[in-house]
Each structure stands twice: as structure tokens, then as C-alpha cells.
Chain A
Amino acid sequence: MPAIRYEAPRSVADAVRLIGADPGARVLAGGTDLLVQFRAGVRQPTAFIDIKRIPELVGIRVDASGLHLGAATAAAVICEHDEVKRLWPGFVEAVHLIGSTQIQGRGTVGGNLCNASPAADTTCALIVNRAECVIAGPKGERTVAAEAFCTGPGRNVLEPGEFLVAIRMPRPAPRTADAYLRLIPRSEMDIAVAGAGVSVTLDASGVCTAARIAVGAVAPTALLVPDAARVLIGSRIDEAALARAGEAASAAARPIDDKRGTVEYRRTIAGVLTRRAAAVAAQRAIEK
């Protein structure tokens, strides 16, 4: 077996150089996908580029503009952050659903996004919160909207030599809240049959003025569903509006049959979860 290298660069510039110099190099964040794929022989990297020694890759900053999340920050660190929990409870819900306590100690939101599983729990929550992905590469830095980052199962927009540095989310407007729900056949430690993220903004009288809805595990990538958000806007997010939003989410779903669920089941569940998540988000927005 050819020798594999391990590198732990201390700066983004050094990481870009290392990744660009070796097409077989793979970026190592939490390793909860990469090392499993490596062990299974799915990926045979020539080098592991461990990005966790780069200061800006690890850590959380919340300021007036919003959240700045280092892409390699462990899930457990996010779930313990009081300000992030208060401002983005739905995002933290999604992060908290991934894997076991042990996996949470290693796995990262950046890795969850880059792995590009259609069922990735955090992706819907990032999309509805208008997250931007900060990418570094040989040509410098660029940003991509979360909904445009994944291009298919296991595929994303990263070009050779590029890697995900950070995720930014704008600070929520007043009376704005998010929620994320997923369905799995057991109570813990499984992969979503379907998932739904919702963010809503209410005015002082309780009328919805803005909404974002995304569904997961029902298409090759997580889907932003503007049609579902549109029916909430202008409503008081009552039962009728929730039902129509759920129908719009079901209509947008393009699921597959597999061992976790059938096309019909996934389509139905995407609507149910959308309805419920929207109700939770609306209630949270009222309480803000």
C-alpha cells in the first residue's frame, strides 16, 4: 500500500497549498464520514489534511451580524453554546440529532454539509437560516448559499484544491424563529426517512412576513421549497395555512424507494414534518 501522509496545517493558506499540491489529499475534520469510508475502501486518500489546528476552522462567534461557525467545530460544542441555542433553536435541534454522544464529539456541521448526503440533518436548517458557506481555494475565498452547496448525493460545489472554511448565518430578524424535525424508525441514532426545516418571521400582530422551508431525504439534495413558504406569508400560520404548506412540500418532494421508506411514504411524511415544524417555528417566534 502506498504511504499515506498526515498533515496538520496551522493556517488556511497552508491548507490550500497542501490540498492543491496533491489531488489525492482529503480534508479531515471530524472523520465520522471520511474515516469510515477510508476503512471500507470507498476512499483511498494519499494524504489526510487535518484542518482542526487552524484557529478559524474551530470555534463559534456570534456578533451583531450573526453566526460565524468554524467548519470543523464539533457538534457537541455547538449544542453547548447558549447564544446559538437561543437564536437558532432549530439549527441546534438538527445538529443535536446527528449520531451518538461520541459522534457529536467528533462530527462537524462542515463535514455534514460536505459529505452531501441527501438526508443530512443540518443542511435543511442551514438553508432555512440563509446560511452562506465560506470556501477557500487556490483562487482565494468565495461564498456559496447553503442551498446551492450540494449538487447531488455525495457531490458538492467544491473545486479541486478548495475546502469549506466557515458557515455564516445572518442574525435572525425580530420575531423570527426556526425549527427542524425528522422522522426515523427508532428514537435515536438513525438516518432521516424525511426531514423538514422551517424559519418564519412574524409581525407584531402575528402575521407571517417571511418564511423559508426546506425538506431533506426526499430528493438528491436538500430542497428549498419557495412554494411552501409562500403560502405561509401573509397568514397567521393557522391550520389552513399549515396544511397548504405541507401539501406544497409534499408536491416538491422527489423521493426514492429504499429500505428506509417508499416514495409515497416519504412524500407524505415530508408534508407532515413541514406542517409540524412550521407550527413549532411559529410558536417560538411568538414567544421571542
Chain B
Amino acid sequence: MAKLHVETTINGEPAEFLCEPQETLLSALRNGVGLTGTKEGCATGDCGACSVLLDGRLVPSCLVLAPEAQDRTVTTIEGLAPSSPGANHDTLHPLQQKFLEHAALQCGFCTPGFLVAAKALLDANPDPSETEIRYWLAGNLCRCTGYDKIVRAVQDAAKEIRAAR
């Protein structure tokens, strides 16, 4: 069967890839586009490791078919850090910086999903309560940190982003 040709926008840039009709967006991102920051955990929508934004909406990319991305916009972990011309390539998004400072990761496998999910939260709600953070991130599983450091990092990043406004 001929592969499908998909034209989309990934992290603000026009992008195209070839995929199988039943291939997931997760697989197309990793294997077709070469963006391997998005991780496959459970592949059944339970763990959040594959979180991306599709038209700005937080979704599990393991439960999106790759051809669905036609004419949509996709934001992955690779699109989090500032990418304006002249931006230092080492400049991190405040969430990424705070995850480092708070040691909110150990093995790091869940981290891209947590960061994308936390970005979606802060885009919608710049000042979430701890309870709101914990419920929002309930679909992201981490087996290392015990979550507390992740919650603190998100709170701290939110504070910094608010201060910068």
C-alpha cells in the first residue's frame, strides 16, 4: 500500500512526512520526522509520555493517527524552547529550566510529556493551585520522582512566567 503524504505544521514550521494509514502520530514524529523527544510509554493513552499539542490541545499522540495531522498544527517538546531568530540554542523554556533546578526528573523518560502537559496548563491558567496542577497532570505517570518535585517545578515556572509578563 502506498504511503500517505501528510502536510502539516510542526513547532511553527511547515513539515511533511510519509506514513502508513494506521500509523500513529507518535510513530510519524519519531520515525518519519526524526523528532524523538516525544516518548512511547504505554501506547494506550494511560501514561502521558507521548503528550503533544494538536491545534493547541493537549492530546496523547499514541491515540492520534498520523494522517489526522494533515493541515493541523503540532507542538512537540522540541518546540518548547524559544526558537526566534538569534535565540541562544541553549535557552530553555522556564518549565524546562525549573525542572532542572528542582531535580523534577530522574530517568527522564516521562519528562517531555510532563513538560508539554504543563505548558498546556500554564497557557490556559497562568496561576494554577497545587490541586489544579495535580489534577491536570494526573494523566502523566512518573515512576521516579514521587511527583512532588514536578509540582514544585511547575509552580515555580508559573511564578517566573507571570513575573515576566
Contact = CB atoms under 8 A, between A and B. Distances in A.
Task: Say whether A and B bind each other.
Answer: yes
Interface of A: 3-6, 8, 28, 30-32, 35-36, 38-40, 48, 50, 52, 74, 76, 99-103, 105-106, 188-189
A31 B59 CA distance: 11
Nearest to B60: A102
Contacts of A28: 65
Contacts, number: 87
Interface residues of B, number: 33
Given A105-B54, A105-B60, 17 more contacts: A3-B21, A4-B20, A6-B65, A8-B68, A32-B63, A35-B62, A36-B45, A48-B22, A50-B65, A100-B138, A102-B45, A102-B117, A103-B45, A103-B63, A106-B45, A106-B60, A106-B63
Contacts of B70: 8
B65 A48 contact: yes
Nearest to B57: A105
B8 interface: no
B145 to A, nearest CB: 18
A286 B153 CA distance: 42
Nearest to A188: B138
Contacts of A48: 21-22, 65
B64 A4 contact: no
Find the residue from A76, A103, A189 having the highest chain B CB count within 10 A: A103
B58 A101 contact: yes
A188 B48 CA distance: 14
A155 B21 CA distance: 27
Contacts of A74: 57
Contact of B68 (A32, A50, A99, A101): A50
A189 B22 contact: no
B81 interface: no
B59 A102 contact: yes
16 contacts: A4-B1, A4-B20, A4-B21, A6-B4, A6-B67, A30-B63, A31-B63, A35-B62, A36-B44, A50-B67, A50-B68, A101-B58, A101-B138, A103-B60, A106-B64, A188-B135
A78 to B, nearest CB: 13
A105 B54 CA distance: 9
B63 A99 contact: no
Contacts of B138: 100-101, 188-189
B22 A38 contact: yes
Contact of A102 (B65, B67, B68, B139): B139
B64 A102 contact: no
B120 interface: yes
Contacts of B64: 31, 106
A6 B22 contact: yes
Contacts of A52: 68
Ranked 4 nearest A-B pairs via Cβ? A100-B139, A3-B1, A6-B21, A188-B138
A222 to B, nearest CB: 23
A218 to B, nearest CB: 25
B48 A102 contact: yes
A101 B45 contact: no
B122 interface: no
Interface string B18-57: 0011101000000000000000000111101001001001
Nearest to A36: B44
A102 B44 contact: no
Contacts of B24: 35
A97 B139 CA distance: 12
Nearest to B124: A80
A3 B1 CA distance: 6
Contacts of B117: 101-102
A6 B43 CA distance: 20
B65 to A, nearest CB: 6
A105 B45 contact: no
B43 to A, nearest CB: 6
Nearest to B53: A105
Nearest to B61: A102
Contacts of B20: 4
A5 B43 CA distance: 21
